[in-house]
């Protein structure tokens, strides 16, 4: 009889342990599922806030001068645009990043301290561009047309350049701007 009671007691203890383990497993499983759901929602919220912050801080055009494209053969004006100027390391690195549109009547002029072969890329640049490289005499030495947005591939000048102009893709074809043409610019509102 005592042996039977001991066996029954052991079975009851084992059942209690199994119930406790099962409860622990269920509670742990519920916590893991809830944590996973929380992390998924948190990631979505962070992604949405990042998208909003990019839109809030999207760079806008700041007119800092005028630029004129001049035909090499006839010396006549081809086209005029307003320009934003990038003349220091930070501005040159930033370029036209984080912009989602740009008027055909504007562009960015990069001014470097000296003439040498240059290379650009399209990282974080959403607008396809024509990139125009100019030598120290403001003569167009090469043009890279229809650059691929967001690409990190190198876009070389192939010739030494001191100035670079970025305009909307198709600009050079639309206005007939080609190598050998010249540029004049006038700066204003620079600090």
pLDDT reported for residue 54: 43
Q: Taking the CB of residue 159, how many other CB atoms lie within 10 A of it?
A: 17
pLDDT reported for residue 58: 52
Q: Is the separation of the CB atoms in 82 and 59 below 8 Å?
A: no
pLDDT reported for residue 107: 97
pTM of the model: 0.69
Q: Is the separation of the CB atoms in 119 and 154 below 8 Å?
A: yes
Which bin fits 158, alpha (ψ -120 to 50), beta or left (φ > 0)?
left
pLDDT reported for residue 52: 44
pLDDT reported for residue 28: 85
pLDDT reported for residue 129: 97
CA distances to 36, 38, 47, 53 from 41, in Å: 9, 5, 10, 18
CA distance linking residue 84 with residue 106, whole number of Å: 8
Counting as low any pLDDT under 70, the low residues of the chain are 1-5, 43-59, 189-191
Which bin fits 95, alpha (ψ -120 to 50), beta or left (φ > 0)?
left
């Amino acid at each position: 009889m005592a042996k039977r009671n001991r066996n029954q007691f052991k079975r009851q203890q084992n059942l209690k342990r199994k119930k406790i383990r099962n409860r622990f497993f269920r509670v742990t499983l519920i916590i893991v599922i809830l944590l996973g759901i929380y992390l998924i929602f948190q990631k979505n919220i962070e992604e949405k806030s990042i998208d909003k912050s990019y839109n809030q801080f999207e760079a806008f055009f700041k007119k800092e001068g005028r630029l004129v494209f001049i035909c090499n053969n006839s010396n006549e004006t081809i086209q005029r645009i307003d320009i934003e100027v990038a003349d220091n390391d930070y501005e040159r690195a930033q370029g036209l990043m984080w912009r989602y549109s740009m008027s055909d009547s504007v562009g960015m002029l990069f001014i470097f301290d000296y003439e040498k072969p240059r290379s650009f890329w399209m990282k974080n640049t959403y607008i396809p561009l024509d990139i125009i490289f100019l030598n120290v005499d403001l003569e167009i030495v090469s043009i890279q047309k229809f650059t691929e947005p967001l690409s990190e591939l190198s876009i070389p000048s192939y010739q030494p350049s001191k100035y670079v102009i970025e305009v909307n893709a198709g600009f050079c074809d639309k206005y007939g701007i080609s190598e050998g043409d010249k540029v004049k610019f006038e700066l204003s509102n620079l600090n």
